[in-house]
Chains A and B, each alone.
Chain A
Amino acid sequence: MSLLEIRNACLKLDGKDILKGLSLSVNEGEVHAIMGPNGSGKSTLSYMLAGREGYDLDKGEILLEGKSLIEMSADERARSGLFLAFQYPVELPGVGAMSFLREAVNSRRKFLGEKEFDHLGFVKEARKEASKMFVKDEMLKRSVNVGFSGGEKKRFEILQMAMLKPKISILDETDSGLDVDALKIVSEGVNAQRSKDNAIVVITHYQRLLDYIIPDFVHILSDGAIIKSGGPELALEVEKNGYAGLINAS
């Protein structure tokens, strides 16, 4: 049984077909990269998986550990172990980063039947993980994403991932807006979480991120479906020949 299975996903937005029979199978311990040009359906795919309102499948199925996600709300999917690192993390004015983290972690723990953190216990745990991501204490005292630079926002996303310990993580263009240093930190954070029990799907435009987060499989997304799959070398091919070459060939 695969960890995440997408079968023939079809989705319309505003009457227009965006996902046209997308299929994907991700097993535990694997890192998959999905690459595609603009308009190929990358963000639609992430929102659809995360269960955002308005992104229901018209046809097809999504299974997480064999269980259908279609009837589950976005928060149910999250508690079941699905994590989305946003491309553009939104600001939550007045909502303290530390308390937000704690509430998120406790919802997941409650779902798993694990003991929830109290305030002090959580702060200790959070600081430990935060230092690995170079997230300063001072940042955790601020409101979520308010006044955070692009790099800080992405680091905070990966910090959340580290604390939530999801079964499947979708990283939506995590590299966008990052300089090389930030890219390294974020990638190290992601790599530190790779294990045989979880899986990661990296959605990206550019091959560069995949130098740091080396995938096991690479898929090319074009016009709402996966047209080609391969190993890491496929990413290098995209870099060399561009998407157009690959799309025309298939």
Chain B
Amino acid sequence: MVATQETIDKVKEVSKSYKYGFITNLESEKAPLGLNEDIVRFISQKKKEPQWLLEWRLKAYKKWLTMKQPNWAMVNFPDINFQDIYYYSAPKTKPKLNSLDEVDPELLRTYEKLGIPIKEQEMLAGVAVDYVFDSVSVATTFREKLEKEGIIFCPISEAVQNYPELVKKYIGSVIPIGDNYYAALNSAVFTDGSFVYVPKGVRCPMELSTYFRINEQNSGQFERTLIIVEDDAYVSYLEGCTAPQRDENQLHAAVVELIAMNNSEIKYSTVQNWYPGDKDGKGGIYNFVTKRGNCLGKRSKISWTQVETGSAITWKYPSCILKGDESVGEFYSVAVANNAQQADTGTKMIHIGKNTKSTIISKGISAGKAQNTYRGQVQIQKNALGSRNFTQCDSLLIGDKCGAHTVPYINQYTPSARVEHEATTSKISEDQLFYCLQRGLDTEQATSLIVNGFCKEVMKELPMEFAVEAQKLIGISLEGSVG
């Protein structure tokens, strides 16, 4: 059911507070509405993919048809009509863009509105950015710098063309096509995402980053990211997202696979502030993401750091498989749910190798009528001798109509491992607020200060560039929740 112009205007009027609410007027080349085998072939053809990938997609699609939507999470949403989505949309621009000069000026204006000063980034930040606009990547900067180190950072569709052996070897190795309903769907219809490869012994000299934007009505965003880091190598990857205001639910079912070899490290940070829906929960993004890292090598390390403040529904468990002996998995998370948002998030740490270690620090903040659930699994297999886990899961409740729930699963099959779980639930006390007010801070400042204090342990894990944006984001997302 497509929104009428009247509805769009009404929503715009009502939700003025969402800073990033706008729609770019670009002619989009779209696939016909709905999903069937032809659409899968259409996508593969548009991307000029090799036969093996088309077959992989079709296998995933057929698997998806046999699967049922999972419904065990503590989230409620109306049934998704998968036939009412455009699975491919691309702006009409030249297919190959080697420099920013070739980017459509309308697109550049869009990025400016999103607060990304391209010129500035190019000169000062030294961050290589792979802009993803709807389903097609538009520009990649700093290629030469990275190429010198032998680092590959490009859209996944490009990697399929230029490095097919790498993609074929690793895609689906961490999250197989049948892993879950949404991963199967993603495998069939993914349209883009990032591909990163860091060769042996190389420490990537800059933060790698990608921005997402969901535009077209009813177009799902099915990004697929694959990051491979060889022995003794390091990369830090930032994922930051904004999206325009919509009154139709938009599905975001991405898949992220990370592979870390011996002595290597992948740091994956996310700041997410997608449209959360209006005060009554109408509209807003559905963020159903599957993210998993495979610590394949000995002494490898994968850290997930996330600040999630947006989306109507957040359903994701960035996880680590600790296969290599002495490998380390970390999960640092701040999840904010306000008004009518719902979040069921957490992580899975699967200890397989010996002396593996995992750390989970989860901070959930609930306000309004929101429901925030932490769901975590710590699995210590019987050969994971000497493994250790520390989990700290804290909930902060603002107001008396919201909820916080904790669902921990601890499965330990060897007595030589050590698992610690701590959980706290608290409210922002009136005394704390009054203390800040009495020092001249207004309610918004006071709430932001106290909440950021609550999240400090997680915030300090974020790369500097994100930490500032993230702190502001938390403040903005809680506006109106106190006082």
Seen from chain A, the residues whose Cβ lies within 8 Å of a Cβ on chain B are: 50-53, 73-75, 78-79, 83-84, 86, 89-95, 100, 103-104, 107-108, 111, 143, 160, 164
Q: Taking CB as reference atom, which chain B residue is nearest A82?
A: B438
In whole angstroms, what is the CA distance A78 to B446 when docked? 13
Q: Is B431 an interface residue (CB 8 A)?
A: yes
Q: Is B453 an interface residue (CB 8 A)?
A: yes
Residues of B within 8 A of A164 (CB): 439-440
Q: For residue A64, give the distance in angstroms from its CB to the closest CB of chain B.
A: 14
Known: A51-B437, A90-B435, A104-B440. 8 other contacts (CB 8 A): A74-B437, A75-B442, A78-B439, A90-B432, A92-B449, A100-B439, A107-B439, A107-B442
Top 5 nearest A-B pairs (CB, nearest first) are A94-B453, A107-B440, A104-B439, A95-B453, A94-B456
Q: Which of B429, B437, B455 is within 8 Å of A78, CB to CB?
A: B437
Q: For residue B331, give the distance in angstroms from its CB to the closest CB of chain A.
A: 19
Q: Is B180 an interface residue (CB 8 A)?
A: no
Q: Are B440 and A53 touching (Cβ within 8 A)?
A: no
Q: Taking CB as reference atom, which chain B residue is nearest A78?
A: B440
Q: Are B440 and A108 touching (Cβ within 8 A)?
A: yes
Q: Is B26 an interface residue (CB 8 A)?
A: no
Q: Is B412 an interface residue (CB 8 A)?
A: no
Residues of B within 8 A of A89 (CB): 435
Q: Taking CB as reference atom, which chain B residue is nearest A54?
A: B430
Q: Are B437 and A75 touching (Cβ within 8 A)?
A: yes
Q: Are B434 and A74 touching (Cβ within 8 A)?
A: yes
Q: Are A100 and B429 touching (Cβ within 8 A)?
A: no
Q: For residue A106, give the distance in angstroms from its CB to the closest CB of chain B.
A: 9
Q: For residue A60, give the distance in angstroms from its CB to the closest CB of chain B.
A: 21
Seen from chain B, the residues whose Cβ lies within 8 Å of a Cβ on chain A are: 429-432, 434-443, 445-446, 449-450, 452-457
Contact (A84, B438) CB under 8 Å given A90-B432, A103-B445: yes
In whole angstroms, what is the CA distance A194 to B454 when docked? 37
Q: For residue A203, give the distance in angstroms from its CB to the closest CB of chain B.
A: 15
Q: Are B430 and A104 touching (Cβ within 8 A)?
A: no
Q: Which of A83, A94, A104 is within 8 Å of B455, CB to CB?
A: A94
Q: Are A92 and B435 touching (Cβ within 8 A)?
A: yes
Q: For residue B329, give the distance in angstroms from its CB to the closest CB of chain A.
A: 24
8 contacts between A and B (CB under 8 A): A53-B430, A75-B440, A90-B429, A90-B435, A93-B454, A94-B456, A104-B439, A104-B440
Q: For residue B431, give the distance in angstroms from its CB to the closest CB of chain A.
A: 4
In whole angstroms, what is the CA distance A74 to B457 when docked? 30
Q: For residue B474, give the distance in angstroms from its CB to the closest CB of chain A.
A: 12
Q: Are A103 and B450 touching (Cβ within 8 A)?
A: no
Q: Taking CB as reference atom, which chain B residue is nearest A104?
A: B439
Q: Are B453 and A143 touching (Cβ within 8 A)?
A: yes
Q: For residue A136, give the distance in angstroms from its CB to the closest CB of chain B.
A: 21
Residues of A within 8 A of B440 (CB): 75, 78-79, 104, 107-108, 111, 164
Q: For residue B437, give the distance in angstroms from its CB to the closest CB of chain A.
A: 4
Q: Are A75 and B453 touching (Cβ within 8 A)?
A: no
Contact (A75, B430) CB under 8 Å given A92-B453, A95-B450: no
Contact (A95, B434) CB under 8 Å given A75-B443, A104-B439, A107-B439: no
In whole angstroms, what is the CA distance A104 to B435 when docked? 11
Q: For residue B460, give the distance in angstroms from its CB to the closest CB of chain A.
A: 10
Q: Which of B431, B442, B452 is within 8 Å of A90, CB to CB?
A: B431
Q: For residue B38, give the distance in angstroms from its CB to the closest CB of chain A.
A: 54
In whole angstroms, what is the CA distance A231 to B431 when docked? 34
In whole angstroms, what is the CA distance A83 to B439 when docked? 7
Contact (A103, B441) CB under 8 Å given A53-B430, A92-B449: yes
Residues of B within 8 A of A107 (CB): 439-442, 445
Q: For residue B445, give the distance in angstroms from its CB to the closest CB of chain A.
A: 7
Q: For residue A243, give the distance in angstroms from its CB to the closest CB of chain B.
A: 28
In whole angstroms, what is the CA distance A111 to B454 when docked? 28
Q: Are A75 and B441 touching (Cβ within 8 A)?
A: yes
In whole angstroms, what is the CA distance A95 to B450 when docked? 7
In whole angstroms, what is the CA distance A103 to B439 when docked? 9
Please indicate which of the listed interface residues B441, B443, B456 has the most CB atoms of chain A within 10 Å of its own CB.
Answer: B441
Residues of B within 8 A of A84 (CB): 438
Q: Are A93 and B441 touching (Cβ within 8 A)?
A: no
Q: For residue A92, give the distance in angstroms from its CB to the closest CB of chain B.
A: 6
In whole angstroms, what is the CA distance A173 to B456 when docked? 33
Q: For residue B277, give the distance in angstroms from its CB to the closest CB of chain A.
A: 29
Q: Taking CB as reference atom, which chain A residue is nearest B449?
A: A95
Residues of A within 8 A of B445 (CB): 103, 107
Residues of B within 8 A of A93 (CB): 453-454
Q: For residue A157, give the distance in angstroms from its CB to the closest CB of chain B.
A: 10
Q: For residue B56, give the distance in angstroms from its CB to the closest CB of chain A.
A: 46
Residues of B within 8 A of A83 (CB): 438
Q: Taking CB as reference atom, which chain B residue is nearest A146?
A: B453
Q: Taking CB as reference atom, which chain A residue is nearest B452?
A: A94
In whole angstroms, what is the CA distance A89 to B438 when docked? 11
In whole angstroms, what is the CA distance A84 to B436 when docked? 11
Q: For residue A156, give the distance in angstroms from its CB to the closest CB of chain B.
A: 12
Contact (A53, B434) CB under 8 Å given A75-B441, A90-B429, A103-B441: yes
In whole angstroms, what is the CA distance A150 to B446 when docked? 24
Q: Taking CB as reference atom, which chain A residue is nearest B483?
A: A53
Q: Are B434 and A104 touching (Cβ within 8 A)?
A: no
Residues of A within 8 A of B442 (CB): 73, 75, 107
Residues of A within 8 A of B443 (CB): 75
Q: Are A100 and B438 touching (Cβ within 8 A)?
A: no
Residues of B within 8 A of A53 (CB): 430, 434
Q: For residue A15, give the distance in angstroms from its CB to the closest CB of chain B.
A: 20
Residues of B within 8 A of A104 (CB): 439-441
Residues of A within 8 A of B453 (CB): 92-95, 143
Q: Taking CB as reference atom, which chain A residue is nearest B429?
A: A90
Q: For residue A99, give the distance in angstroms from its CB to the closest CB of chain B.
A: 8
Q: Are A78 and B438 touching (Cβ within 8 A)?
A: yes
